[in-house]
Amino acid sequence: MAAETTYPPCVGCGFCCTKAVCALGIGFYECNEPPDPPCRGLVWSEQDQRHYCQLILEQGAESKLAELMAIGAGCSCTLNDWYREPNQNRTK
Ligand code: SF4
Ligand code: SF4
């Protein structure tokens, strides 16, 4: 389980994985700096109308990897415009 934080919840807007691919995205999916992103690990759920990380879908939200990635700890970049807009598929 991720450490408790005071961050507001992640809404799955996909901003972070599009603008700043994490080290795992660079390592696993060989994503580099813009304009290469969004990370190829970023997946869109039509059903949930939000993005997920493919690595976490495979490993599980309770996995060690999820803990290391602070999944569930909230969003630290809520000033981005996407956070307040209705989510849309950013993987296209
Ligand atoms: S809400 Fe924040 S942490 Fe979640 S996908 Fe958007 S920018 Fe990333
Ligand atoms: S989709 Fe997953 S691997 Fe890619 S940048 Fe986001 S958190 Fe990292």
Q: Which residue's CA lies nearest to atom 2 of ligand 1? A: 75
Give percent above pLDDT 90 in the chain.
75
CA gyration radius for the chain? 13
Please work out, in degrees rounded to the nearest 5, the angle formed at the alpha carbon of residue 17 by the alpha carbons of 5 and 89.
110
Q: Ligand 1 mean position to 70 CA, how many Å?
A: 12
> Is 52 a pocket residue for ligand 1 (Cβ < 6 Å)?
no
> Is 71 a pocket residue for ligand 2 (Cβ < 6 Å)?
no
Reported as a pLDDT band with limits 50, 70 and 90, residue 2 is low
- With 60 as the cut, is the pLDDT of residue 3 above it? no
**d(Cα 27, Cα 15) in Å, to the nearest integer?**
19
